[in-house]
Structure 1
Amino acid sequence: MTGQGVTDRFTIAMHPIHDADYVHVADRLIYQNHDSDLDDPVSSMAKALSTVLYELDERQCRELFIELPSEWLVRIDLLPTPPSQVVIGLPRDLEVTPEVADSLNRIRERNYRIAMPDPAGQSMGADLQAFADIIEIDASCPLDSERLETLKAGGYQLLVEHIQDHEQLEQCLEAGCDYINGRYLSQPHYHASKPRGRHGNRAAQLRLINELYREDADLHRLHDLLLQMPHLHVAILRRANSSFFGQSQQQSDLRRAIQVIGLNELRRLVMTMSLASNMPSSRITVRLALIRAFMCQNLAEPFRNIDPEDAFTTGLFSLMAALLDEDQATLLEQVPLDDGIIRALEHHEGHLGAILAICEEHEQQLAENTSEHTAEQLQKCYLDALDKAATLMGRF
């Protein structure tokens, strides 16, 4: 298939934002996917953030303004860091559901600032204004000085956009605007990301995700997995050498770089770039695999003679062939799994095979809508697996 395994070309624009003294203090991220007709806001934002955070050279510690779609706002584990250098923008048409409102509160608790378009005259916008720190003013419309004074008195900072001339600029500054965004002062900078293909060992990529979210994640095992993924290797070195981590010496050793950025930042980086890489596997199948893996893990927890992590791996690898578009026998030859896991996958043998069979039977009952009489403990394991899969991979 032409182009199989290679993502679309992607361009981002960094629009300079100046303060009232005309100092370049921030950039607004704008992105465009040139070749794809797919409307996938999660993947598109992941590609944009992956490019600006992990591929571009140092941004001189300027703030980054990014407008996040609702699908990304509820994925706060993937928000870029540090919060002191990131301003989260809200789309004008954002619907304030209870889930979104809860996420916005948690975003503020993590000390991110939130920016939104001026909601004057819009009831839904007024609901969002309670979460905002910065209000964006459109200078192409007549300025309402009284409105701006009210916003300033309410403690909001003001970012003015679409300034056309010096007179308009002076009016905005006199009204107390704190940020200036637009071509009048400076032109945006454009960056085209490189096409991404199937990097490294694809089976290792899902093993990496498995290891990353273990409570006792093994840094040595993570190191060995990451060595098989050149694009992640380079991104980790870039991140470890960014000014945020304040290293006096350049880090060129992957093991040391992992220690520098820490486990949480490593999770954020790997998941963002995995979403951006547009792997050929189906996102629906990824989610099903994780739900099955977590359910197997939950079912194994009460039994001392069954390792919950082995159960998780069994559930995950039961759909690995579909995820990676590989023949299962060939895949199992390539991946060094425990004999008990292999027997469970190939023949449903042993305790792990029994657990896998229970999960598959439960999934079949759900598909046939005949699970109303499912045992309470089994349904509890399944619902918990749903929550864990949503936390890990998000709703996409």
Structure 2
Amino acid sequence: MQPICDANMRHVADELLYRNHPDATAALIEDDRVATARVCNIAFYETGISKLVGRRKVFVNTPQEWLLKPELLPPHPEQVVIEVLETVSGSPKVIAALHKIRSLGYEVALDDFVLTPETLPLLDVANIIKVDVRQPMNWRHIYLYQARGLRLLAEKVETLESFSRLKSQGFELFQGYFYARPETHRETSRHRSSNHAALLRLLAELQREDTDYRKLEVLISQDPQLTFMLLKYTNSALLNRRGGILTIQQALNALGLNRARTITLTIMMANNGPASRLLLAQALTRAAMCEHLAEEPQGTAFTAGLLSMMGLLINDSLSELLEQIPMEPAVREAILFRRHALGELLEDIDAFENARTQNWTAAKTETFNRVWIKSQQWTTEILHAVTPAEP
């Protein structure tokens, strides 16, 4: 699931990135359809779209065969954006199908769109144009899209500078890893610098197996917003509670150490600016995947997954951060150098996140897809519970 944000860096949509069956090739159209059917079945029917992304939109890459059979499209058209791939031309049959899809309530996005005489008719049925900003842009075409009232989505935005420039040029939606670059976090550097030392002290205390709850209580109480959100979460319906948890100590006792670690770090990172919130979803999903897939203690695997992205989350050297946090040497080596079984798992998850799964077996691919869906669902629930609603 790759986040899509608006011009205020609010997380408003996701692209559903399902890793295809490893044996599929461009010539095996049937396999592509099966892969799309599999992800839609898991995401929309088994899991449920509200559990997966809350109220955000979902962009779904759609084979041309599915465009011509709208009855195969996923449910909840009010939340689904149908992505028309760049290989699809504007033939009369496709245009008629897309008119039907629009009438059903779906939005239509043209992916990696390049305007040609053959693709021109697609502009009549589109809502969104996705532009790969790494390629030279034809501004005459961009102005045409804007004049038609089409929303522009910038793909593969890699830096905050590019994000700011494209925003000023009229792009409304953005997709890429610009929010994971260190310069993204400068907007909140003053807030972070005042909390950085406190975060590290709290992070170090949370990693101790012999954590002193009284010391932990003191550290948490120094942050009023963290205290409020922790109590709010502990009393939430997610834990089947209706009040009764009034102190930090009661909250820590109710949560237990492993859950207290997760929630406390999530709240602190979610309050670290919009860029961190976008990256946090990926970090939590990675951590949950580690927990589900690791052979060693689940708490250790979850923590390793989360810490593997901590350098990006708080814009600091990961190796220096880990030196300040008590942990087993093997866990540190797994995070930094991908050693041992846990390190190999982190390497596999990184490969999955970046679609480097061509040599995987079908069983391994399917396992990671299912675990990813489950982990993404959990992440959505956690972030919904501990972060304020977007305006």
TM-score (norm 1): 0.42
Instruction: Name which one, 1 or 2, has greater alpha-carbon Rg.
Output: 1
TM-score (norm 2): 0.42
